[in-house]
Amino acid sequence: MTILSPVSSADEVEMLVESGAGELYCGLVPPEWIRAYSGAVWLNRRSPAGANLSRLDDLALLVSRAHARGVPVFLTLNAPVYIESQLTYLADLARQAVGECGIDGLIVSDTALLLTLADTGLGPRLHVSSVASALNSEAVRFYRDLGVGRVILPRGLSVEEVGRISAAVGGAVPLEAFVLYDGCAFEEGLCHTLHHHRVGAFCVDLARWDPTFERTDGAAPGPGEAARLEAHFARHREWIWHLNACGATVSSGGMPLGACGVCAMPAFRRFGVHAVKIAGRQASPLRKLLGLRLVRAVLARMETGASDEDVVQWAVRARGMPETCASGVMCYYRGPFTARRENAGV
């Protein structure tokens, strides 16, 4: 199992590789895209502001530094959809990224772009983004039959579903799963609301609304009903806050907070998941570094033969927020792993 880390500058490469990154992924938004579409239409799943490289020369330098250390680099072209005129531009950009910059793979979500790039012979270099919502084994087989090199599983799957998908495809295509940082209140591949670096995301803004309640018969809710509804919205706001990096706060041990799935890593390793992914190309170098060190430390304990329960207990202590881990509010993958934490006394 390898660790895939985000990177947004060539200057971060050495730090990330030395700290355990086996693979890197980045984004690129050239000036001509900004001139054509401004910041309102994203080339990939992250804002042009702060999360992306802006020149092919910068990309080539980043790839060169990673390859010098034996680490592959993947490029994100994973907006949910593109219009027809954008496909030609993106196909040219992909060929330049591979041919001139040495990119090892392209992370793609839009089916039209996927087919366009597959027709140009790039099929084995294509990684199907989680934004493509491969939610079951038939979807994974569909992408496998297109000759892709990897499928990235959505965060909304349960651990059991990941296991069933892995068993069904039998290693015919490598799988990748998220284990740290960032999340989506909806199934991101089915959500078409606008994200913008100045406006924010709809799901985040929704949590800030001050709701009013009315019964279907037009009457005001009774005291008990109103209290239950307020409690529900309070829990929803807490969940959204955790999905979105907990306001950039840290735990008592100095660990950046946010959505997490490290407790699922032992199961993913048994299932044969090829790579575990840390989200957050827009994050600071320190946040990337601390998250990577956590995931690498968890993987190291697995590699020494520690039991699943020991790995979970260590990860919870390292995160430094045991009550949050116990509630599951910060977890990608709930259900049995919440129960496992409870049974392990954490």
The structural domains of the chain, with segments of one domain joined by +, span: 2-191+244-343, 202-243
pLDDT for the residue numbered 346: 44
Contacts of 183 (CB under 8 A, 6+ apart): 155, 242, 243, 244, 258, 259, 332
Q: What is the pLDDT of residue 281?
A: 93
Tens place of pLDDT for every residue, the chain, 346 residues? Answer: 999 999 999 999 999 999 999 999 999 999 999 999 887 788 998 888 789 999 999 999 999 999 999 999 999 999 999 999 999 999 999 999 999 999 999 999 999 999 999 998 999 999 999 999 999 999 999 999 999 999 999 988 999 999 999 999 999 999 999 999 887 777 778 877 666 655 567 777 777 777 788 888 888 888 889 889 888 888 888 888 887 777 778 887 788 888 899 999 999 999 999 999 999 998 999 999 999 999 999 999 999 999 999 999 999 888 888 888 888 888 888 754 554 544 444 4
Instruction: Return the pLDDT at 56.
Output: 97
Hey, what amino acid is at 22?
G
CA distances from 239 to 65, 204, 208, 283, 307 (A): 38, 10, 12, 20, 29
Cα 100–Cα 101–Cα 107 angle in degrees, nearest 5: 115
pLDDT of residue 344: 45
User: How many Å separate Cα 196 from the centre of its chain?
Assistant: 18
Which residues make Cβ contacts (< 8 Å) with residue 143, sequence separation at least 6?
114, 128, 132, 134, 151, 173
Residue 199: the pLDDT is 58
The dotted CATH code for 2-191+244-343 is 3.20.20.380
> Counting every residue, how long is the chain?
346
